[in-house]
Amino acid sequence: MQQLDYDHTMHERHGAGDEALLVKFFIKPAEDQKASKEAGRPIFHDIEWIDIRIPGNKDNVVCRPLRQRDIERFPRHYAAFKQRIEKGAEAVVGTPLELFPFVTAARVEELKFFNIRTVEQLAATPDSTAGKFMGFHDLKKKAQDFMRASELSAPAAKIAELEQSNKELREAVDRLTKQTENTTTRGAKTAELEQSNKALREEVDRLTKKIENTTTRGR
């Protein structure tokens, strides 16, 4: 399936034709690289996306992160989308349950029914929820163990990152030092050549005068 950017002319025309388009707003998690490094585990944020299709045409598809003009163009679709997610759960910030190795796909859906969508939420869920599904205490403990392990590994990852940064800085300093030394060496060599050239010019002048004096006496 070919995915096209929003600026494709077929999808730029606003007006009555928009009502015939198949428009879907949805949530797609995206990893926060900086937060993941700091936490020592994958951290995701929910991003709003839009999918636009033309009925009967499977080749022209727009699917990308939401833009403000999409809301202005499809206000009815967007309002319906926001109403749906209000009943679901707040935006996800954390490690999605799908990345937690101790839960099956079926259990993920079961937990989502109780608005538990991340490992962080599972680890902090009150024990009063235990009666709502089997194996809750064991799963919660694994989530808490997972969180503790991540917190312990995060400083080690940060140290490794700092060591790598320091290594790169030292290499940069070494390069600058060598460059400075080479520049100094070239400067000294240039001064030496200039002094040598000056001495040669003086010797040429001395010989020229000597020749001129010799010629004058010969006359």
Q: What is the pLDDT of residues 164-198, one digit of tens each?
A: 666 776 777 777 777 766 666 666 666 776 776 67
Scan for tokens 């707003």, then name that residue: 25
Structure confidence at residue 9 as a pLDDT band (50, 70, 90): very low
Token pair for residue 43? Answer: 């951290």
Q: What is the DSSP string of 102-113?
A: T--HHHHHHHHH
Six-digit token string for 69:
């003009």
What pLDDT, in 10s, does the model give residues 116-164? 888 888 888 888 776 777 788 888 899 888 888 877 665 555 555 556 6
Question: What pLDDT shows up at residue 153?
Answer: 64
Helix locations, 40-115, DSSP H: 68-73, 75-88, 105-113
Q: How many angstroms separate the Cα of 61 from the Cα of each of 49, 51, 108, 176, 212?
A: 13, 7, 30, 52, 94
Strand 57-65 to strand 3-4: parallel, antiparallel, or no bridges (unpaired)?
A: parallel
Report the C-alpha gap between 80 and 70 in whole angstroms: 14
**pTM of the shown model:** 0.40
117: enclosing H helix or E strand: none
State CA 168 to chain mean position distance. 20
**Which tens digit of pLDDT belongs to each residue from 42-81?**
788 888 999 999 877 878 899 999 999 999 999 988 988 8
